[in-house]
């Protein structure tokens, strides 16, 4: 089965690292779209109090155990650190958005048994697989 489909079918709560208050940015409108599709979104942004009407948390460790999937809107150089933090805090899947890739994060995620997708947009994949 396609990993993207598996993640999107099994995810219930998505922690979005780098979630933005700016709805014109992908890191703002992708989580908004996902919330409209029924996923519960936990925004991770140390510089925001609230995003999408939800209290923004400073790190994945603040949300420990309350999410199953992590969606990443941060530079590729941060992906390995985020993968480790995601696994340590209960993630079953790690998704790196378009333009974000990391061989180290992929290897780590695979070794921990986390499902992994990189360089793909979660919203575009949802639309492709399930329609709007």
Q: What is the pLDDT of residues 32-55, one digit of tens each?
A: 999 999 999 999 999 999 999 999
What CA–CA distance (Å, rounded) separates 70 from 15?
Answer: 5
Domains of the chain plus CATH, in order, are 3-130 (3.40.50.720)
Q: What is the mean pLDDT of residues 107-131?
A: 97
> If you average pLDDT over residues 57-75, what whole number do you get?
96
Percent of the chain with pLDDT over 70: 98
Determine the average pLDDT of the residues in 83-103: 97
**What pTM was estimated for this model as a whole?**
0.96
How far is 47 from 122, CA to CA, in rounded Å?
A: 23
């Amino acid at each position: 089965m396609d990993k993207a489909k598996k993640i999107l079918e099994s995810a219930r709560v998505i922690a979005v690292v780098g979630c933005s208050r700016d709805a014109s940015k992908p890191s703002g409108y992708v989580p908004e779209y996902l919330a409209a599709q029924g996923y519960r979104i936990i925004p991770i942004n140390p510089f925001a109090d609230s995003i999408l009407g939800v209290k923004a948390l400073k790190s994945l460790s603040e949300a420990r155990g309350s999410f199953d999937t992590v969606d990443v809107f941060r530079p590729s150089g941060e992906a390995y650190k985020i993968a480790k933090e995601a696994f340590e805090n209960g993630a079953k899947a790690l998704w790196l958005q378009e333009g974000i890739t990391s061989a180290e994060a992929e290897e780590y995620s695979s070794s921990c048994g986390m499902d992994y997708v990189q360089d793909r947009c979660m919203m575009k994949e949802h639309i492709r697989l399930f329609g709007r």
